[in-house]
Structures are given as C-alpha cells and as structure tokens.
Chains A and B, each alone.
Chain A
Amino acid sequence: MTAIQPLADPSVVEAALDEGAHEQWRALEDEVAADPARLGRVFPAAARKTGRGPLPGADGVLLEDAVRVSLVRSAARSLDPEALLAELREVYRYGDSDEKRAVLHALNGADDELDGTDLLLDALRTNDTRLVAAAMGPHSDRLDADAWRQGVLKCLFTGVPVSSVTGLARRADRELAEMVQRYQREREAAGRDVPLDVQVVLDACAASPEQNRQKDS
C-alpha cells in the first residue's frame, strides 16, 4: 500500500458533483480499488463521467484533477510504491495532457518512497504551462539542483507563476540568481519588460539559506 494525499478534500469534490456524477465517481473508485490495473482504463473517461472545471472551495484546483488523483489514491491502497509507479508511468505515457497533469498532481501528494523524477523531467521538456507548473510542485524536491534551477528558469520563460514552485525559499541559491540575472540582462538589452517574478526569484536567492551556506564555504 502506498499513501497519496488527496488534491482536494473529498467533501469539496462531492459538493461539486450532482447525484449522477457522484455515483459515477464512486463506481470508478470502486473499480480501481478492486483492480488497480484498471487505472489506465478509467483515467481517460473520468472527466466526462464526473465533470471538469475550477473546483469551488479549493483554490486553483480543477475538479477533473481532484477526481483523477482520487482514483490514483484508490489504486495506491493495494499497490506497493514500485507497482504504483509502474502504473503511473503507463498512464502518463499514454495520457492526454489532462491525464498527464493529474499524474503529476498525484506524485506531488506521494510519500517519500515514490520517485517519479523521470516523469517530472518529461513534463519540464514540454512547453505546456499546466504540465510545467505541476512538475514544479512538491515532488520537485526530487529533482537535482541543476534540473530544479532549469525548471525555475523555464517558469520565468513560459509565464508560469513562481508561486507554484515548491521550495523556492529553501532551494534558491547563488547559481540560480546568476542564471536569472543573465536572463534579466538579456531582456533589458532587448528593451523588453522583465517579468515581476524575476525579482521574486532574486529576492528568494538573496534570502535563502543555500545562498548563505555557499558564502560561508
């Protein structure tokens, strides 16, 4: 069994679904709980059977993401981390963008034994801002320093708010500051606006323990 945190409180999801959709949701959860290998089968149809759109009462969460993460939770109850990861890789590989994003959200709520770094790196190679944002959530603690810094820079480039980056205050360091300053100089030299988030990242770099640790050494 592997623990996955829900993306939204189940009662909030429930409140957003009408009776028919609620029944469908329960049926999908039961199906996956009985046979976790069904995850890839139920994932594509999950949104059209329940609903989609911003979830009232859960800031920034989409209903379809919350439902799909709940299905991963159901499957995870009878799978060890390795088996769950194998399922998630399959679902991600053959998923559309919504399904891929839901897998990333599930990883963000996964316990320490699960390592989906390869999926994060895949998402960070895309230019789909919804995937990039999800890939820089809590599971991005798994990324090594180089990949994580590139991820932050990609957020600045593609307009993903850095508020969605996990661990910015903790991991920002001198090297990230230098990368971001070079990016800033390039924008200024071209006479272009510098995104406000550039200063947010630079401030985080200046204040972070990483920065001070490097200075000391």
Chain B
Amino acid sequence: MRIFDPHIHMTSRTTDDYEAMHAAGVRALVEPAFWLGQPRTSVGSFTDYFDALVGWERFRAAQFGIAHHCTIALNPKEANDPRCAEVLDVLPRYLAKDGVVAVGEVGFDSMTVEEEKAFVRQLELAVEFELPAMVHTPHRDKEQGTRRTLELVTESGLAPGMVVVDHLNEVTVDQVDDAGCWMGFSIYPDTKMDEHRMVAILQRRGLDRVLVNSAADWGRSDPLKTAKTGAAMLEAGFSADDVDRVLWRNPIEFFGQSGRLLVDPDLTDDAGADADSSPDSSATFEGNSILRGSRD
C-alpha cells in the first residue's frame, strides 16, 4: 500500500511517527501551514514557520524516506489578529517555492469579516500563482461555513477542480461534491469522522475527487489513519486498486496541478506495509535519476 497523506502537521510529530508512517507505506505527504495551538503575535513568527516547512521539516522527512510538501497561507484563526494580517504581504515569496503545492489552509474559523478578507485575498493569490487552494471548514457551524466557502470560491474564478474543501462530514459532503470541488476527509481517533463512516461515504458516492487524510497535529490524532482507512476499504470489499486510487493517485492528481510535486508519481510500491522496509530516500528524486523539468 503506497500512501500519500494529503494533510498532516509533521512539525508537531515525532521521529517515531515518521518511522511508523514509512512502515505503513507513507511515501509522500502535504503539511499545510496552520495554527500552532499558541497564537502567534508577529509576522516574524510566521516566516520562521514557513522557512521550517520548506527547510528543516523537508529534510527531516527525507531522513525517513518520505517526500515532504507543504501549503502556505495565513490561517483563518490568526487572520483575526491585526498583528498577523501583514503576513499576507510575504506569502508570494513562499508561494514561489518548489514543494509548495497549494495555498492553504485558508477558509473560515469564526466567520468574521477579517477572515473573509484574508480568504478572498488568498484565493486571488492561488489564481495568480496557478496553485490549488486547500480550504479548512470550521468545526462550529460547519454547514453554513461550507456554503459561504463555496460562494467565495465561485466568485474567485479559481476552477472548482483546483480547490479541496477539507474536514468534511456526512452533512457537508454533497454541497462540495455538487460544486465540483475536491472533498477532503480528516479521519480522527474520536467521533468527528472515522474510517468506517469514510468507507460508507465512498460506497455511496464513489472515489472521484476524494482525499483522505489523518490531519494529525499537536492534538489527539493518529498519523496512521490513512493506512487504517485503506484497511477498512479492503475489508469492505474495495479492491487494492481502489485503495491505491484514494490513498495515492487522487492526491497526486490534485496536488500535481501545482507542477511542484517532489515525489515520483509512478513510485512503485517497493515495500508496502512491510515493517522491515528500511527508510531510504528512494521515495524522492534525491539520490535518484534526473527528473526533467521545463514546466512553468
């Protein structure tokens, strides 16, 4: 099972997690820029964080044979703090980097005017940099937040296929589906969304435009939820190819639209769920043959 976790905050995770993820088949991931739990109070705090996402964390992941990508944005929660709003001016610098595969997480937390302003501005940046957007949906009043999100996406001119709306559940999935956006599901160890409910949603509406992630961070979460969802799919009668589609080819298709992937899309399933597989950099282009570019 080769796995691409399209949403996981590795900065908050340990090297044990990296080892366990590699053993479970994770070979690539996307770490969205988000809130650290402790509110930031200055732009410098953001730039150091962004530097870590395109620097140290990428290096750390490579030590475990995992290709690390990230998304860059001012998150909705901190968009409400005027001391942080100026970070919007430094985003273009980071949106130009290799391995930055989307603008995100953007969206709503408390549905304020400030949040909407930052959200709209960052959708413009996605259009300008020809990058997909990763949209966070609020934990409170998710349905209303999702509706307003889809209105703003339509107004932005960004193609629906360039947008993933994340943290969906049974109540919000259909409106996102109907809008033609990608649907992100975060599988948590508690009740928000679990792997069996995920399987039921896949059975109902199919595998198209679905991204399954662990959204693991500094809170109670499980970086192996992607693999566990794959196992639950197999148990429910989905084929290995179906699992590969959801856990590998879908994220490659979505984030590949950025032209910035640092992993071989055709990476062979070298080790699968083999616990003995030794981490090396074979998952990435480093140490491998030349990847030709000439995209822009």
Contact = CB atoms under 8 A, between A and B. Distances in A.
B31 to A, nearest CB: 14
Interface residues of B, number: 24
Contact of A128 (B59, B96, B285): B59
A51 interface: yes
B199 interface: no
Nearest to B59: A128
B50 to A, nearest CB: 10
A54 B285 CA distance: 9
B59 A48 contact: no
B54 interface: yes
B157 interface: no
B263 to A, nearest CB: 12
A50 B291 CA distance: 9
Interface residues of A, number: 31
A38 interface: no
Contact of B289 (A53, A96, A100, A126): A53
A44 B286 contact: no
B296 A96 contact: no
B290 A63 contact: yes
Contact of A97 (B54, B93, B293, B294): B54
B228 to A, nearest CB: 32
A51 B55 contact: no
A111 to B, nearest CB: 29
Nearest to A47: B98
B249 interface: no
Given A52-B291, A53-B286, A97 B97 contact: no
A21 B294 contact: yes
Interface in A159-216: none
A48 B290 CA distance: 11
A98 interface: yes
A39 B185 CA distance: 40
B22 interface: no
A135 B295 CA distance: 31
A53 B59 contact: no
A97 B58 contact: yes
B99 interface: yes
B292 interface: yes
A23 B291 CA distance: 16
Interface in A27-56: 41, 44-45, 47-56
A126 to B, nearest CB: 7
Contacts of B55: 96-97, 100, 126, 128
B294 A50 contact: yes
Find the residue from A21, A96, A98, A126 having the highest chain B CB count within 10 A: A96
A16 interface: yes
Interface string A79-121: 0000000000000001011101000000000000000000000
B293 A48 contact: yes
Given A45-B96, A53-B289, A130 B294 contact: no
Nearest to B55: A97
A98 B98 contact: yes
Interface string B48-92: 000000111011000000000000000000000000000000000
Interface in B250-296: 259-260, 285-296
Contacts of A21: 292-294
Contact of B291 (A45, A51, A98, A100): A51
A52 B294 contact: no
Interface of A: 16-18, 20-21, 23-24, 41, 44-45, 47-56, 63, 94, 96-98, 100, 126-130
Interface of B: 54-56, 58-59, 93, 96-99, 259-260, 285-296
6 nearest CB pairs, A to B: A20-B294, A96-B54, A53-B290, A21-B294, A44-B96, A51-B293
21 contacts: A16-B290, A21-B292, A44-B98, A45-B296, A47-B293, A48-B293, A49-B294, A49-B296, A50-B294, A51-B290, A51-B291, A52-B285, A53-B288, A53-B290, A53-B291, A55-B290, A96-B58, A97-B58, A98-B98, A100-B55, A126-B56
